[in-house]
Structure 1
Amino acid sequence: MKQIAIISDIHSNLTALIEVLADIKCKGIKDIYCLGDLVDFAPWGNEVIQLVRDLKIPCVMGNHDERIAFDLPIINLKHHHLQESLVRHKAITISKKEITEDHKKWLRTLPASLSVTLSDEDYACKILLVHATPFSNDEYLFEKDPKLGLAEYLSVHNYDTMVMGHTHQPYIQRSSGKLLINAGSVGRSREADRKASYCYLTLNKNKIEVEIVKIDYDTSFVAQQIYASEIPDFYGDFLLQK
């Protein structure tokens, strides 16, 4: 039986990441991949990057990683109200200042996607790992959205499965015979319970089985650390809204 764990959207939340990694270790899963967005919105951006680097976890470049790595302009998002646009600008500006140059250099090396194959003697499953979609690392693809063009892309490139993040809302669905998975968010879940989420894939008897795991962590501690930092209180309040 072969397994991989996939984490995404940590957003500088070291506390949540440690709990998720402990759960993965407890399950005996050795191969871990990350779908990006290591930075922004909590006080431990450098620590999160260092831990991912120390553990040699293969990682793709999220849109937040790209913005910090290349000092890209901060563009307001249509689905954010005025308050969130203002605090988002401030939080990202703090990351641009606090993430070390060495870590920024490392972020610049991250690929847009990763290809992983789970196989045994009789079966092989080719898996595409991206932050958001194969076309963009900041395109939102929710469970309700149509997936026809995506399924066609996966067919052309001989992928059976795709795992993504970015929306902070996990799901598992099929489209035109392709298995599509959103791993959710380790550090800033948009689900009502705010639990950290990740997924793992198991190759079992010539088929891929998927499990989305949700983990409790001390959101109150993380919120208090946000309140004690320069990061806007909005991001601490968000974690406590359940």
Structure 2
Amino acid sequence: MIETIRSKGIPVIAGNYDQGVGLKSDDCGCAYKTDEDKALGAESIAFTNKMISDDNRSYLRSLPAHLRIEFGVNTDPYHLLLVHGSPRKINEYLYEDRTDKSINRMMENAGADIMAFGHTHKPWHKVLENDDGTLRHAINIGSVGKPKDGDPRACYVMLEWEDDLDLNDPDGLDVTFVRVEYDVEKAAKAVEESPLPDAFADMLRKGES
């Protein structure tokens, strides 16, 4: 997968797992809830550290934590910020029940009108209203691999807008969550045939952590 991304020159940011493997760490920066989950995570990152090439490890270390895209519509500049966890921390979990006030403050400090992030592997979209009545969009893009929302299909997001985009219009930005079918069973069986724990195969089949 790393070779494919590199060969196509696809801009990417570092995730917490990329950071851990890039640094040859035994810690992926995950917030495990049980000792069993922690043990599974340790096996996973140890396996990856064993399999990855030095060149690809170096590439992972080079990945940026954030990507900022500034674009103008008419005379209005907008800022799209791409992060893995949050602007503050690569492994911060932003769940849908996080208060609007908390996310709004985070985006204001980061100078973001639109913020796309992941880490939880659970997709959602909120339109947040600022004190001055202007709007921001917070978008968890879900996960292409290992979804955790009960849907085993891959998930990504398409952002679309018209030439006269106005983020003060709640419907001005079109956010579409796209689910993609793939051979989940083939992937699960490949996990079962590898040194990795079979529990990871079950997670793929169920779309759950």
Q: TM-score, normalised by structure 2?
A: 0.86
Q: Residue type matched to 2:123 in 1?
A: P
Secondary structure of 1:126 counterpart: strand
Q: Who is 2:143 aligned against?
A: 185
Please give the per-residue CA displacement for 1:125-178, whole angstroms capped at 9, x wherever unaligned.
210000010000111110011242332232244321100000000001022321
Matched with 1:80 is 33
CA distance in 1, matches of 2:71, 2:152: 31
2:127 maps to which of 168, 174, 177: 174
Q: Provide the residue aligned with 1:223 in structure 2.
A: 188
CA distance in structure 2 between the partners assigned to 1:75 and 1:59 by the alignment = 18
Residue identity over aligned pairs, in percent, reads 27
Higher RCO by CA contacts (8 Å cutoff, separation 6 or greater): 1
| C-alpha distance 81-50 of structure 1, shift in aligned 2 (>3 A) | same
d(CA) in 2 for partners of 1:200, 1:117 = 17
Q: Which runs of 4+ in 1 moved over 6 A?
A: none
**2:155 corresponding residue in structure 1:** 197
Aligned partner of 1:152 among 92, 105, 111: 105
Match in the other structure for 1:210:
175
Unpaired runs of 5+ residues, structure 2, are: 130-134, 166-171
- Counterpart CA distance in 2 for 1:54 and 1:68 is 20
Instruction: Please list every run of 5 or more consecutive structure 1 residues that lacks an aligned counterpart in the other structure.
Output: 1-47
Farther-moved stretch of structure 1 (199-208 vs 86-95): 199-208
Task: Give the distance between the partners of 1:52 and 1:141, measured in 2 at CA.
Answer: 26
1:107 aligns with one of 49, 57, 60: 60
Q: How many residues align?
A: 195
SS in 2 for 1:89: helix
Q: Is the 8 A contact 1:118 1:203 kept in 2?
A: no
Where 2:96 maps in the other structure, the secondary structure is coil
Q: Is the 8 A contact 2:80 2:112 kept in 1?
A: yes
